[in-house]
Amino acid sequence: MRLILLTCLTMIAFAANSVLNRMAVDGGGIDPSSFAMIRVLAGAVALGMILTVRGGGLPLWQRDRVVGATSLAAYMVGFSLAYVTLDAGLGALILFGTVQVAMFGWSALRGGHPTARQMLGAAIAFAGLLIALWPDDNGGGDIAGAALMVVAGLGWAAYTLAGKGAKDPLAATAANFIWTLPILGVLLFGTGLHAAPSGIALAILSGAVTSGLGYALWYSILPRLAGQTAAVVQLSVPIIAIAGGALLLGEALSLSLALSAALVVGGIAVAVTASKAQEGRS
pLDDT value at 274 more than 70? no
Q: Say what the pLDDT of residue 191 is.
A: 65
What proportion of the chain, given as a percentage, has pLDDT over 90? 37
> What is the mean pLDDT of the segment spanning 58-71?
89
DSSP 189: -
Distance CA 98, CA 116 (A): 20
pLDDT value at 156 more than 50? yes
pLDDT value at 153 more than 90? yes
Nearest CA among 235, 174, 203 for reference residue 51:
174
> What is the mean pLDDT of the segment spanning 197-221?
91
Q: Say what the pLDDT of residue 101 is.
A: 82
Lowest model confidence (mean pLDDT) among 67-76, 105-114, 137-146, 256-265? 137-146
> What is the mean pLDDT of the segment spanning 163-175?
82
Directed axis angle between helix 2-26 and helix 236-249, to 10°? 50
Distance CA 260, CA 183 (A): 34
What proportion of the chain, given as a percentage, has pLDDT over 70? 91
Q: Say what the pLDDT of residue 135 is.
A: 63
Partners of 195 in beta bridges: 30
Residues 223-233: tens digit of each pLDDT: 787 666 676 78
Nearest CA among 51, 78, 80 for reference residue 172:
51
Confidence of residue 141 (pLDDT cuts 50, 70, 90): low
pLDDT value at 9 more than 60? yes
Q: Say what the pLDDT of residue 63 is.
A: 82
Residues 170-205: tens digit of each pLDDT: 888 899 999 999 999 898 877 678 899 999 999 999
What is the reported pTM? 0.85
* Torsion from C-alpha of 101, 103, 108, 114, nearest 10 degrees: -70
Distance CA 111, CA 141 (A): 36
Q: Say what the pLDDT of residue 161 is.
A: 82
> What is the mean pLDDT of the segment spanning 90-100?
87
Partners of 30 in beta bridges: 195
The residue that leads in pLDDT, 19 or 99, is 19
pLDDT value at 18 more than 90? yes
pLDDT value at 282 more than 50? no
| Sequence spans of domains, the chain | 2-281
Q: Say what the pLDDT of residue 138 is.
A: 54
Confidence of residue 149 (pLDDT cuts 50, 70, 90): very high
Distance CA 260, CA 107 (A): 24
Mean pLDDT of the chain, nearest integer? 85
Q: Say what the pLDDT of residue 258 is.
A: 87
8 Å CB contact between 115 and 278 = yes
> What is the mean pLDDT of the segment spanning 94-110?
83
pLDDT value at 252 more than 80? yes
State the SS3 of 110-167.
CCCCCCHHHHHHHHHHHHHHHHHHCCCCCCCCCHHHHHHHHHHHHHHHHHHHHCCCCC
